[in-house]
Amino acid sequence: MKLGVIISTYNNPVWLEKTLWGYMCQKRMADEIIIADDGSTDETREMINTFANKLPIKHVWHEDNGFQKTKILNAALRASESEYLVFTDQDCIPRNDFLLIHESNAQRGHFLSGGYFKLPMDISTQLTQEDIYTQRAFSLRWLKEQGLIWNFKCTKLINAPWFSLMMNTITPTKATWNGMNSSGWREDIIKVRGFDERMKYGGEDRELGERLMNMGIRGVQIRYLAVTLHLDHDRPYKNEEHWKINDSIRETTRRLKLTSTEYGL
């Protein structure tokens, strides 16, 4: 099948470049990569252009008018041509089997729910293209040598299929639509009319998943299989009032079992 990746970004070309390096060394290469750009400056455009002959990239951009991730994601959806789509962010570097895992676990009537392993800022900054190409960036041993402190979340980087399958089975974390690492059939996402453009930062991705579930599309947990490294960053766009509005929209979606939105595609 034709497999596409939609990557959201905003004014962080250094992090986005590291993430695109990860897509250059996939065992299963993407058929299209759509950069959903929420109003970045020319610096991001110029960096993306350096990948023009290396990856099948489309750059979908609109003017900066505050946090409009849902709006630019819908624009990227319209521009997509693949039957199956992986959604992720500018700060999530994929392991080299990332797209292969999404493709091999795709099944009709379901979407896939992944996660990430968060790196501290010092390691995020020092990661090089070679670290990603050689895949040592995903090695717990190597990360510890760089100063990573062990915690339970490090188990996400244990690259053993039997272990990953076991952890996906026993984890209490629900399979939700997570914007930094989820995938589904384009026709299902179009049917629920994509993302609700009223929503700012805070659960806006999960609301899409809730409509999919209301339509009978079930989430499958792959957080320990589809591995990404999350590069550290601040979140100046966090806003308590926006959270309250988003929570209200999500509550309505759940209570009324909505399968589409009037404010999407």
- Taking residues 113-126, what's their average pLDDT? 96
Which pLDDT belongs to residue 1?
94
Residue 263 included in any domain: no
Q: Domain count of the chain?
A: 1
Split at pLDDT 50, 70, 90, the class of 238 is confident
| Residue ranges making up the domain that contains 189 | 3-255
Q: For 128-160, what is the HEC assignment?
A: CHHHHHCCHHHCHHHHHHCCCCCCHHHHHHCCC
pLDDT score of 234 more than 80 = no
Tell me the β-bridge partners of 130. Answer: none
pLDDT tens, 67-84? 999 999 999 999 999 999
In a domain, 57, yes or no: yes
Residue 102 lies in a domain: yes
**Mean pLDDT for the chain?**
96
Q: Assess if residue 221 is contained within a domain.
A: yes
Which 3 state secondary structure label does DSSP give 8?
strand
- Looking at residue 213, its pLDDT comes to 98
Task: Report residue 76: phi and psi, to 5°.
Answer: -65, -40
pTM metric for this prediction = 0.96
How are beta strands 117-118 and 181-185 bridged, if at all? Answer: unpaired
Checking if the pLDDT of 214 tops 80, the result is yes
pLDDT digits (tens, 9 = 90+) for 189-212: 999 999 999 999 888 999 999 999
**CA proximity to 94, closest of 150, 157, 155:** 157
Q: Is residue 119 part of a domain?
A: yes
Q: Is 137 exposed, middle or buried (0-12, 13-18, 19+ CB in 10 A)?
A: buried
pLDDT of 251 higher than 80: yes
154-166 per-position pLDDT tens digit? 999 999 999 999 9
Phi and psi based region of residue 66 (left: phi greater than 0; alpha: psi -120 to 50; beta: remaining):
left
Whichever domain contains 202, its CATH number is 3.90.550.10
In this prediction, residue 59 has a pLDDT band, given cuts at 50, 70 and 90, of very high
**Does 214 reside within a domain?**
yes
In the chain, pLDDT over 70 holds for what percent of residues? 99
The pLDDT value given to residue 240:
85
- Judge whether residue 136 has pLDDT over 90: yes
